[in-house]
Amino acid sequence: MDAKGYEISPWELRWRGLDLEALHRTESTFAVSNGHIGIRGSFEEGEPRGLAGTYLNGFFEQRELPYAEAGYGYPEDGQTVVNVTDGNIIRLLIGDEPLDMRYGDAPHHERVLDFRSGTLRRTTEWVSPTGRRIRIRSERLVSFSSRAVAAIRYEVEPLDGELEVVLQSDLLANEPLPTKSDDPRVAAALDRPLVADFAAASGYRAVLAHHTRASNLYMAAGMDHEIELPADARCSIETEEDLARLTVAVDIPAGKSLCLTKYLAYGWSARRSVPALRAQVDGALAGAKETGWKTLLERQRAYLDKFWAVADVEIEGDAELQQAVRFGLFHVLQAGARGESRAIPAKGLTGPGYDGHAFWDTETYVLPVLTYTLPDSARDALRWRHTTLDKAKARAQQLGQQGAAFPWRSINGQECSGYWPAGTAAFHVGADVAAATSRYLAATGDTEFETEFGLEILVETARLWGSLGHHNSEGEFRIDGVTGPDEYTAIADNNVFTNLMAQQNLIDAATLCSKHPDLARDLGVDDEETARWRDAAEHMRLPYDDALGVHQQSDGFTHHADWDFEATPQDTYPLLLNYPYFDLYRKRVVKQADLVMALYLRGDAFTDEQKLANFLYYESITVRDSSLSACVQSVVASEVGDLQLAYDYLAEAALTDLHDLHANVSNGLHIASLAGTWLGCVAGFGGMRDYNGNITFAPRIPEQLNRLAFHMRIRGSCVSVEIRQHSATYTLTSGNSIPLSHHGEPFTLDETPVTHDIPEPPQIPRIRQPHGRAPTRRG
Amino acid sequence: MDAKGYEISPWELRWRGLDLEALHRTESTFAVSNGHIGIRGSFEEGEPRGLAGTYLNGFFEQRELPYAEAGYGYPEDGQTVVNVTDGNIIRLLIGDEPLDMRYGDAPHHERVLDFRSGTLRRTTEWVSPTGRRIRIRSERLVSFSSRAVAAIRYEVEPLDGELEVVLQSDLLANEPLPTKSDDPRVAAALDRPLVADFAAASGYRAVLAHHTRASNLYMAAGMDHEIELPADARCSIETEEDLARLTVAVDIPAGKSLCLTKYLAYGWSARRSVPALRAQVDGALAGAKETGWKTLLERQRAYLDKFWAVADVEIEGDAELQQAVRFGLFHVLQAGARGESRAIPAKGLTGPGYDGHAFWDTETYVLPVLTYTLPDSARDALRWRHTTLDKAKARAQQLGQQGAAFPWRSINGQECSGYWPAGTAAFHVGADVAAATSRYLAATGDTEFETEFGLEILVETARLWGSLGHHNSEGEFRIDGVTGPDEYTAIADNNVFTNLMAQQNLIDAATLCSKHPDLARDLGVDDEETARWRDAAEHMRLPYDDALGVHQQSDGFTHHADWDFEATPQDTYPLLLNYPYFDLYRKRVVKQADLVMALYLRGDAFTDEQKLANFLYYESITVRDSSLSACVQSVVASEVGDLQLAYDYLAEAALTDLHDLHANVSNGLHIASLAGTWLGCVAGFGGMRDYNGNITFAPRIPEQLNRLAFHMRIRGSCVSVEIRQHSATYTLTSGNSIPLSHHGEPFTLDETPVTHDIPEPPQIPRIRQPHGRAPTRRG
């Protein structure tokens, strides 16, 4: 067991030995999910446990947002993801001793999250306080093939002769949760959010139905079981409002074991009745039982085989990074696979952090990965945004703007940000959605999505920029008083990232309207409007400091006072928990890639010299207090030619959750950072860019690595890229030939693999970070 | 009765006739107070009533401030002024009919607030629903001479023969109040804030003692009575936890009347015990009774005679304005007379608006008036600030700054602002306190205050600027990320008003330290520190738009988008209630004088041409959504030479509460606007400036007025200024000769009055306001 607790292995995450302190954290890393249902990696026996968590994507409770001083247009209601009815619980009594790993002894204990089987396995040998010895084996999955279904295989084996056991398999609603923290990134605690509507049980099957008090969402959870029992076993099932329990009392003879298969099904709706939801859950249970455990396992593996065939990133020369990259991709898949017109939350369905909200992270970090590996899931996530357009248009209107203002944070599309300078003012989210839409359209050629959804998204987001911005007397188009990705500066004029993303948004909208003039007219767009968009894009203000030769993150930024990094103790990071916003806002300290993000996503707007100068400048003041930063810094470090720094940042992004670098993995994984690991490999070392839909590469790997290989789906074709120290090989593994570029040299990839030499990286000055904030040097 | 309900009269505010709808508002205008105790102008019979209100300066309840998203350094506790035990209530039953003016008929009813007697008088003839006819006469005062004492004289006279009456004279705690409003300027509603500690009664006297639940402040209220009763009258007194009641049942013969004198005394403390407070109140009651009603009245009048001798402003040619100016001065006196080391709240003690908090208004609007008319009260108010220095220093430290950060809003000196962009970020409050200190010192030569309190205030406020600001690469001293007086722009760089006030603060602190080197050293100030202050002041950045030829309110301000005034319905003012901050912040729309405030308070930093250009520019975008604005605009309009506009604005400021221009006088008066009326007369038409302690005048009155006269105490002398259309006469009414200036010409005023001609005003372009926001044209 290494120091961090996880063993390094290419295709699995394994933790050997018992560490109760680590449970809260490993419940997040060992979570299983299909994007619709998520179950934290808690022990079946219910306790010890860090934080109970079973989540249904989109199922939330509403609560009034309080304000010390209210203001016009402040969101009135917040949304918090609900820990729904827990079906994970299988309690075990040995004689009258409950299996509880806080007591007795565990000579062997290990858990494995298997990236290829898509299951979490557990093996525990436990010696009870009175000395009885048993082995528990369990395996659980949330099915990728049947989105409403989860299943657990649970096996008890006595190791010291015949054993009298009682098994209790539960559905449990309204579990108590730990109380609230002062950290604003932690979720609001909900006290007993579920109101009981219905409970029924017979045989091995039980169903509980509940609804939420305020948001009025309805859900049902069901369980069914398979178990082979001797004739003298006693078995009963019963329900209360918040509990359904199958109880099995049985003697297990020496040398034998008891094996229980538990099928779980979940359904929720804002519209369907309790009987309809019950029927839905009963039906899913019947289907799952008919399918059977073995076939569920096979389908799970088949789904993952297909995923890895396109999504896998192979790294030779750094086994820990290899594992971390696959861990990240596995969880990105778990977050996004079967969301199906629901949001992909910042934490996926692995914990209650950020109240279960989705942010711009989804479009900017997660969707690029899905777009090029699992495009249907990217499409579904964009469809979710489209379903919220009405809310976004109403919000824009409330804010006195035209078009659509997507929320900064939300579960159902309603703005839930209770602090507008770092919420509503971060209007770039609209351009991020637009960029993800353009990217998806270019990468897939999905004309159906383009005409039905994409055009409207682009038009309404462009309209927002049209009304948010204005021309000054010199004819520049300004966007004032907004907040960019860096939350340590807020309500600033002409944030370069925002302005460049808005520029692309305006151009893409105008272009698509020209392509579909009739549809554009249906949306009320005329030539005057598109001309205004093009003009605004052309004259977009990008503040630049001539004296320093760098862009200003926003107007005046480079004239602000230095943050005193030397006087800032390392244990006061993240700064937002230890310094007031007012002081952060007015000083040169950057929470996360902002101008540097623009260097990546809108690199076509900068010269190479500007990229280097800007990167040098902003690196020296960026503290990475956000998990969204390291991967982007890795990408740009690769581009400017500092491969060691790129490697360091990539490892930081990849290990964010495995090493708990932000000390909050217990509240859920950082899905964007995990997705960013793919970006670090593909856009960073692979140098992949997709400006205006043109796919280009500029690969270069650090000396510590021998080989990096990845794949991308592009317009129905599949391209494999294999990078070695001095050359890169491009292979078309399926589909039609495709125009690409290698370090600026265009070529067309057809059936014949192509190998190109990699030029030497440029000589560059030493890049420095703020005092104490350099990434850990790797390799 | 005129349309607004008040009658115009030079020395009183009279309302004739009954208007139940107006009660809520007139309770504020008819409030009586001495700055320590405040009693709203409710009827003695308790109902009908708009809002019960008896306040003790500094007596508040604490409540947790809620945040949808918390942040480091946000204040945790708010403070709300408490409606304390009500001693105003004298109920009357005629037979078994309670006197209630909602029923029956009132053939005659009038109330008079007399600015010279310092009392509120009432005369009511009432016909009961069953036809009995009575006359009620009452008079009440809160004593200027005995700060703990109030008194009411109440007389009942039957008009149609012998009358059987029951009088109930109450002390009543925890009165129900109307529920909360959505308007953030309204106070938080407190539900039964007082916990009963003690109640006792005997004879005609009763005392109730209570404390607040959370803030743990203790108070006692007592009443005693004088009444002449026939032998067969029944009289009893009794107490409950929240009620003490004297009941008198008596027959009043035809042609006679019943007269009750009620003495009230209040005491509160955070430290003294209940028995000590009770003794204090009993003592005050005994003293008041010994003094007697007649002598209380005489002392009240004597106090006011003395006040008016210096404070009166005489206006010939506008009777309504004359009344309004005196009404304003009377209430300024009531707010500030006997505060004695407590804050002067924005509403005085006339209502619960703004939770009873004091803001920068006190130092900037109220203290100039008191400094030149009642300097001891100005001193006491500044002593209050000094008593809060520890809290202000702790707050600065919490914010990572040096020196003292005075709160944006507070009752006891603790920051209570729940929205930091318009609260904590408004650091100018520190410079405002410093400016008021410098002004007081220059106007009085109070060396004791200077060495004991003034120096420390100036040093600690200067230190804050030293740490808030920094030099940029061109050597300019910048103060970034702050909010000036205009709350429609926030978190801006280099707000000109703030920077100029900070500049003066730094210079004054350095100058005073040079004067008192030993004391400065005791405060840790060395020559390096004062040199840094002087350097920062010298290089203070003042953003200027060369193209427009105007100063920028803050960096970049003039490049912001226009607010669309034409498209803004007049009923959406104040804009903050109908538009989001984000949109207000980033557009060219100004809530209240900000740059224009700088033109007045730091006019020495601008040329005449700059003043005119700036005033023209900012007038066109200032909407006056704050009652702090009109008076300042009046002052600057006078200076640039638009006397009509100055007159319009002066009238608006003066009539703010009498005409309820902000539709919220029901929650209390706008003390700063009332004080600003004096500024409009003295600094506006009188052209009085006191830059660096030099008193100068540049008088000029609008053609509608024949004469304007006012007085000022300056360093122990008293100067009278009488302005007519073409000349001004300066008279030294007491004290030593004094150097003055008339329209730029210095002269020394000694025993001989001096008359100077007034030059013609300059020709200036037409000054325009935003669509629909021009002040009402007067005269």
Model pLDDT for residues A160-201, shown as the tens digit of each residue: 999 999 999 999 999 988 765 555 555 555 788 999 999 999
pLDDT of residue A2: 39
Please state, in angstroms and rounded to a whole number, the distance separating the CA atoms of residues A490 and A423: 10
Tokens of A79: 């949304």
Model pLDDT for residues B539-591, shown as the tens digit of each residue: 999 999 999 999 999 999 999 999 999 999 999 999 999 999 999 999 999 99
Average pLDDT on A200-206 reads 97
CB contact under 8 A, B71 and A417: no
pLDDT of residue A576: 96
Closest by CA to A319, choosing from A45, A64, A654, A46, is A654
Using the Cα atoms of residue A504, residue A505, residue A508 and residue A511 in order, give the sign of their dihedral.
Answer: negative
Integer CA distances (angstroms), B319 to B7, B120, B637, in order: 11, 21, 22
Which phi and psi angles does B628 have, rounded to 5°?
A: -85, 0
Average confidence score pLDDT of chain A = 96
Model pLDDT for residues B419-437, shown as the tens digit of each residue: 999 999 999 999 999 999 9
Model pLDDT for residues B153-173, shown as the tens digit of each residue: 999 999 999 999 999 999 999
pLDDT of residue A571: 96
The minimal CB distance from A582 to the residues B69, B399, B586 is found for B399
| Among A residues 147-186, those touching chain B with beta carbons less than 8 Å apart | 182, 184
pLDDT of residue A779: 85
Dihedral Cα B496, B497, B500, B506, nearest 10 deg: -120
The answer to whether residue B549 neighbours chain A at the CB level (below 8 Å) is no
B669 Ramachandran zone, left/alpha/beta (phi>0; psi -120 to 50): beta
Q: Are B397 and B465 in contact (CB under 8 A)?
A: no
Tokens of B288: 């008041």
The CA-CA-CA angle for residues B45, B50, B56, to 5°, reads 80
Closest by CA to A745, choosing from A698, A690, A709, A710, is A698
pLDDT of residue B3: 46
Average pLDDT on B224-247 reads 95
CB atoms within 10 A of CB A1: 12
Task: Band the pLDDT of B181: cuts 50, 70, 90.
Answer: low
Predicted structure pTM score: 0.94
Average confidence score pLDDT of chain B = 96
pLDDT of residue B96: 85
Please state, in angstroms and rounded to a whole number, the distance separating the CA atoms of residues B565 and B570: 9
Q: Which residues in B lie closer than 8 A to residue A562 (C-beta atoms)? A: 470
Average pLDDT on A123-128 reads 96
CB atoms within 10 A of CB B95: 12
The CA-CA-CA angle for residues A70, B490, A582, to 5°, reads 90
Instruction: Concatenate the DSSP letters of all residues of B355-387 into one string.
Output: GG-B-THIIIIIHHHHHHH-HHHHHHHHHHHHH
Using the Cα atoms of residue B344, residue B347, residue B351 and residue B354 in order, give the sign of their dihedral.
Answer: negative
Instruction: Concatenate the DSSP letters of all residues of B122-148 into one string.
Output: EEEEEE-TT--EEEEEEEEEE-SSSTT
Residues of A marked active site are found at: 487
CB atoms within 10 A of CB B289: 19
Please state, in angstroms and rounded to a whole number, the distance separating the CA atoms of residues A450 and A446: 6
Q: Are B667 and B187 in contact (CB under 8 A)?
A: yes
The CA-CA-CA angle for residues A248, A252, A254, to 5°, reads 170
CB atoms within 10 A of CB B107: 12
Using the Cα atoms of residue B275, residue B281, residue B284 and residue B290 in order, give the sign of their dihedral.
Answer: negative
| Among B residues 489-548, those touching chain A with beta carbons less than 8 Å apart | 490-491, 493, 547
CB atoms within 10 A of CB B127: 16
How many contacts does A have with B, using Cβ atoms within 8 A? Answer: 163
Please state, in angstroms and rounded to a whole number, the distance separating the CA atoms of residues B555 and B541: 10
Model pLDDT for residues A213-236, shown as the tens digit of each residue: 999 999 999 999 999 998 889 999
Model pLDDT for residues A333-362, shown as the tens digit of each residue: 999 999 888 999 999 999 999 999 999 999
Q: Are B349 and B31 in contact (CB under 8 A)?
A: yes
How many CA within 13 A on the CB side of residue A582? 27
Please state, in angstroms and rounded to a whole number, the distance separating the CA atoms of residues B233 and B258: 11
Q: Are A318 and A8 in contact (CB under 8 A)?
A: no
The answer to whether residue B582 neighbours chain A at the CB level (below 8 Å) is yes
The better pLDDT of the pair A542, A5 is held by A542
CB contact under 8 A, A399 and B583: yes
pLDDT of residue B187: 56
| Among A residues 372-401, those touching chain B with beta carbons less than 8 Å apart | 398-401
Average pLDDT on A226-251 reads 95
Tokens of B701: 């009155």
Average pLDDT on B260-276 reads 96
State the maximum Cα–Cα separation within chain B, in Å, rounded to a whole number: 90
Q: Are B525 and A588 in contact (CB under 8 A)?
A: no
Amino acid, res. B295: T
Tokens of B751: 């025993």
Please state, in angstroms and rounded to a whole number, the distance separating the CA atoms of residues A172 and A88: 9
Identify the weakest region by mean pLDDT among B180-189, B344-353, B465-474, B519-528. B180-189
Peptide bond into B275 cis (omega under 30): no
Average pLDDT on A289-304 reads 98
Q: Which residues in B lie closer than 8 A to residue A399 (C-beta atoms)? A: 580, 582-583
Angle between helices A455-468 and A375-387 (to 10 degrees): 50
Provide the residue count of chain B: 779
Say if strands A314-316 and A258-269 run parallel, antiparallel, or are unpaired.
unpaired
Helix or strand run (H / E) with residue B39: strand B37-39
The minimal CB distance from A472 to the residues B420, B490, B559 is found for B559
Model pLDDT for residues B655-714, shown as the tens digit of each residue: 999 999 999 999 999 999 999 999 999 999 999 999 999 999 999 999 999 999 999 999
Q: Are B403 and B462 in contact (CB under 8 A)?
A: yes
Angle between helices A630-640 and A643-655 (to 10 degrees): 160
A348 Ramachandran zone, left/alpha/beta (phi>0; psi -120 to 50): left
Please state, in angstroms and rounded to a whole number, the distance separating the CA atoms of residues A492 and B484: 16
Closest by CA to B307, choosing from B384, B381, B383, B377, is B377
What percentage of chain B reaches a pLDDT higher than 90? 94
Average pLDDT on A463-489 reads 96
The answer to whether residue B556 neighbours chain A at the CB level (below 8 Å) is yes
pLDDT of residue A188: 59
Provide the residue count of chain A: 779
Model pLDDT for residues A510-561, shown as the tens digit of each residue: 999 999 999 999 999 999 999 999 999 999 999 999 999 999 999 999 999 9
Tokens of B103: 């029923």
What is the radius of gyration, based on Cα positions, of chain A? Answer: 27
pLDDT at A748 over 50: yes
Q: Are A728 and A705 in contact (CB under 8 A)?
A: no
Please state, in angstroms and rounded to a whole number, the distance separating the CA atoms of residues A396 and B80: 35
pLDDT at A722 over 50: yes
pLDDT of residue B179: 65
ipTM of the complex: 0.91
Which phi and psi angles does A692 have, rounded to 5°?
A: 55, 30
Tokens of B324: 């309004």
CB contact under 8 A, A581 and B68: no
Tokens 């998990």 identify what position?
Answer: A627
Q: Which of A64, A67, A72, A415 should be substituted to probe chain B, the one whose Cβ sees the most B Cβ atoms within 10 Å? A: A72
Model pLDDT for residues A679-703, shown as the tens digit of each residue: 999 999 999 999 999 999 999 999 9
pLDDT at B1 over 70: no
CA B493 to chain CA centroid, nearest Å:
30
The minimal CB distance from A580 to the residues B182, B400, B582 is found for B400
Closest by CA to B185, choosing from B375, B28, B409, B16, is B409
CA distance, residue A320 to nearest chain B CA (Å): 37
Q: In a 3-state reduction of DSSP, which class is residue B227?
A: strand
CB contact under 8 A, A577 and B72: yes
pLDDT at A3 over 60: no
What is the radius of gyration, based on Cα positions, of chain B? Answer: 27
Q: Which of B429, B582, B584 should be substituted to probe chain A, the one whose Cβ sees the most A Cβ atoms within 10 Å? A: B582
